[in-house]
Structures are given as structure tokens and as C-alpha cells.
């Protein structure tokens, strides 16, 4: 399929009142709705009205938040939508494979085949909530994650697709010969199996990965079907795109088996001047002192000791290899400050919009131009849309940007199917255990 025939894939990243950290203070914002399921249901319905592939909920296991647990929330979203995919972040370091396999299988059954798993290794701040004295080292977490994902796939495959029989006359509910123990023993886990719920409708939920470090790219090339990634420039995104796609062949995979979706975080208005006004208002509402403290933790240096309108002290920042957290995001932020010679205040404002993702301020036509340029030039298979204001930013994107993309022949005018795999153009994986059984 040529680039002209291919269609964009668009995910809506739902995030409270929006991805700008000061969005909750914006006059029209209603942060008190963060725990109201009707609010997120309305957002999901808006995204589905726009024929977007999926909605995504991020998650973590530490800190303060005003949001619901993703599995519970997505099950509720499934009840008021029909086509849109439902993706949740679930970390490997602070979970067990059996629990995760069971929950995603349940969500996939509840939604009729629309579940997706964003695989992360977890944040350093979570360690103290799980009886640990420290966060595991970066490479250890990724080795653990690789084994974790392998186990979940084997658990989903522990039931063959036709294992359920429900033969009332014979008194047989399921064929015991088609439900298998996995008896996995690895470096980190030992799991007997089988899973205690039948195989998901999609075979496996769509596997998403968000790490862009060297370890993250390799894990994605081996296991992921979608990548959420962050880039500030089309050139950087294109380089990442080429790099990761080139790694697929050694795992027996083809480029169309992996969709790469950079973050795109817009502020949209009918005129560019209006959009700029919103941008300036949001930056004026940012709690700068707190933002500098958070940035200090990422840099490993106390930035409050430096003039806020002076240059970012890059000479004092941690080297990427010294970081035991999000290495790729650390590197992106350092390069952003260096390449654009930003002051501390300027860097804080740039990160306030979407934590290092590509931010955009302008009109719907200009947004469509930017999206088309990245797509046409091999920098993306689509985008992870992260409106800086919600719900208004998603409303404008769906009402004005998507119709423009459709007019240009870049985006679907109807869903291709009812499962997330069908709409992403991904095949349903065959059952490994069934293949083994057929050979015996």
C-alpha cells in the first residue's frame, strides 16, 4: 500500500482537564469531574464520533491524582461505545503476569475485542508502595518486562479458540484437551497456568509500548504493535521511525505490523491569534516554582539556585546513562533546551503543555497541515492526540481537524471493523498452543 493509500491512525489520550499542567485552572475547566465516569464517557463518545482508533488512559502507582483506575474506567467506557479501542497503561515491575493477563482478557471480552495494553516498566516513585527499598535498574526492568509479556501471551494462548463447548446433552462445558498449562519457569517468574478465563476475542489485546530508550526500542521491535512516542521535530520523529522499523526484520516482522504514533498536543482556535492567547493564558496559570522543582528532580540538579530567566544549566544535568527512570524523555528535554537555547522559564513553559511531546498552537487547517507533513514524510503512522484543554480541545479536533483530514483522503470515513485490531490493520494472532496440538 502506497503512502497515498494509507490512512492515518489517531488515538485520543484522555487526561483530566487536558494535557497542559495548568488546564485545571482554566476558566472553563471542571476538574471536579475527574472522578465522574460520565465525563470520561462523553470524551470517549466524542472520540468515537470522530472515528478515532482508540482512547488511552495513562496510569501510575504513586503520587496524588484525581483519576480512576484504568481497568474499571475502561469497562465503563465500553458500555457506552461500540467501535473505539480502549487502551490502558499497566506496568510490569509492580504487577504479576497472571493478574494482568486475566484483567485484559476480561476487558477484551467486555468490549467485544477493543482492549489494548500500554506496556511500561513503572516509575521510580512507585517502589516504596510495593515493599521495595529501591526501583530496579533500567536494563533489569526491561528484561523483566520481556519475560512478563511472554508469559501473558502464553496465558492468553492457554485456551484454544474453540475450547468452549457447552454441550448440554453430554454435560461438557469446555474441552479439557484444549485448555493447557503453560508451566513457565524463567529468570523472574514461575507460572503454571492455564488462565482462568477463555482466550480474548482479539487473541491478544493490542500491545502498545511507550519507551524510546535503546532498551525500549528493542522491546517494541520484538513485542509492540503500536508505539506512543515523543518528539519535538519531524526530523527526530523520522529518525526514530526509521530506526525502530529497521529492527523488525530480525524478529520476523514487517513494517506494517507496528504503528508509530508520536504525541501531538494542540491548542486550537479559529484564528492563530486566538490560539496564541489561550497558550499565553495557560502559561500564565502555570505554577512555575513547583514546575522548576519537578524539573530539578529530572535533571538531578537544584534549578531553584539558578536565575529562572537565565539559561538552563545543562553542564550540571545528569547524563542520560545515569538516569534510572525515563531515559528517552530525559534526553529529549536536554536536547530541547540545548538546541533552542532555552531559559529555565521557557523550558518550563514548553514542558507544561505536554511533558515533552510536540505542542502545536494554531488553527485546525494548520494542524491538519502539520499532521499531513509528518505523515507524508515518513515520521509517523498517525498520532497520539493530546489536547491541552479538555473537553474543548477534543471537540475542536473532532469537529474541524478530522473533517479536513478526511477531505484530504488521509483519514477513514467509516470504521473498518468492530475490533481494535481490525481498525489498526493488525492481524489476529494465531494460537501457539493450538498449532502445537495440531502437530501431535
Residue ranges of the annotated binding site for FMN are: 59, 89, 138, 142, 212-213
319: exposed, middle or buried (C-beta count within 10 Å: 0-12, 13-18, 19+)? exposed
The C-alpha cell at 193 is 497456568
The C-alpha cell at 46 is 466524542
Sequence ranges of the binding site? 59, 89, 138, 142, 212-213
Q: How many Cβ atoms from other residues are within 10 Å of residue 99's Cβ? A: 11
- 249 Cβ neighbours under 8 A, 6+ residues apart: none
Could you tell me whether strands 85-91 and 54-57 are parallel, antiparallel, or unpaired per DSSP bridges? Answer: parallel
Measured CA to CA, the distance from residue 103 to residue 76 in angstroms comes to 14
Measured CA to CA, the distance from residue 412 to residue 37 in angstroms comes to 28
Q: Which residues face 388 on adjacent strands?
A: none
Amino acid at each position: 500500500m502506497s503512502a497515498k493509500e494509507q490512512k492515518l491512525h489517531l488515538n485520543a489520550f484522555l487526561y483530566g482537564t487536558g494535557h497542559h499542567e495548568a488546564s485545571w485552572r482554566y476558566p472553563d475547566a471542571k476538574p471536579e469531574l475527574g472522578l465522574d465516569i460520565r465525563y470520561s464517557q462523553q470524551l470517549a463518545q466524542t472520540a468515537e464520533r470522530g472515528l478515532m482508533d482508540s482512547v488511552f488512559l495513562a496510569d501510575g502507582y504513586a503520587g496524588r491524582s484525581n483519576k480512576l483506575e484504568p481497568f474499571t474506567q475502561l469497562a465503563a467506557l465500553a458500555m457506552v461505545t461500540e467501535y473505539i479501542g480502549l487502551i490502558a497503561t499497566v506496568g510490569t515491575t509492580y504487577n504479576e503476569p497472571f493478574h494482568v493477563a486475566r484483567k485484559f482478557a476480561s476487558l477484551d471480552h467486555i468490549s467485544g475485542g477493543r482492549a489494548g495494553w500500554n506496556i511500561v516498566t513503572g516509575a521510580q516513585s512507585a517502589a516504596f508502595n510495593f515493599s521495595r527499598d529501591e526501583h530496579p535498574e533500567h536494563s533489569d526492568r526491561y528484561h523483566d518486562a520481556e519475560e512478563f509479556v511472554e508469559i501473558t501471551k502464553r496465558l492468553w494462548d492457554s485456551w484454544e479458540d474453540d475450547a468452549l463447548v457447552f454441550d448440554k446433552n453430554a454435560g461438557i462445558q469446555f474441552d479439557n484437551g484444549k485448555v493447557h498449562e503453560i508451566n513457565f519457569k524463567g529468570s523472574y517468574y514461575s507460572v503454571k497456568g492455564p488462565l482462568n478465563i477463555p482466550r480474548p476475542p482479539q487473541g491478544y489485546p493490542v500491545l502498545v509500548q511507550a519507551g524510546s530508550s535503546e532498551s525500549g526500542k528493542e522491546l517494541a521491535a520484538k513485542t509492540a504493535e503500536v508505539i506512543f512516542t515523543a518528539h519535538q521535530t519531524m526530523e527526530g520523529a523520522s529518525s526514530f521511525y526509521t530506526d525502530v522499523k529497521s529492527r523488525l526484520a530480525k524478529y520476523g516482522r514487517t513494517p506494517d505490523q507496528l504503528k508509530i504514533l508520536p504525541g501531538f498536543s494542540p491548542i486550537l482556535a479559529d484564528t492563530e491569534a486566538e490560539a496564541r492567547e489561550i497558550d499565553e493564558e495557560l502559561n500564565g496559570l502555570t505554577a512555575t516554582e513547583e514546575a522548576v522543582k519537578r524539573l530539578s528532580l529530572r535533571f538531578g540538579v537544584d534549578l531553584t539556585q539558578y536565575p529562572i530567566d537565565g539559561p538552563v544549566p545543562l553542564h550540571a544535568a545528569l547524563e542520560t546513562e545515569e538516569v534510572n527512570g525515563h531515559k528517552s524523555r530525559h534526553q529529549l528535554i536536554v536536547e530541547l533546551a540545548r538546541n533552542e537555547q532555552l531559559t529555565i522559564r521557557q523550558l518550563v513553559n514548553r514542558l507544561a503543555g505536554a511533558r515533552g511531546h510536540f505542542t502545536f498552537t494554531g488553527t485546525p487547517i494548520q494542524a491538519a497541515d502539520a499532521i499531513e507533513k509528518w505523515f507524508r514524510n515518513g515520521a509517523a503512522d498517525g498520532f497520539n492526540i493530546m489536547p491541552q484543554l479538555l473537553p474543548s480541545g477534543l471537540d475542536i479536533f473532532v469537529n474541524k481537524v478530522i473533517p479536513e483530514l478526511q477531505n484530504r483522503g488521509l483519514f477513514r470515513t467509516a470504521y473498518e471493523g468492530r475490533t481494535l485490531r481490525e481498525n489498526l490493520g493488525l492481524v489476529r494472532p494465531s494460537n501457539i498452543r493450538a498449532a502445537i496440538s495440531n502437530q501431535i
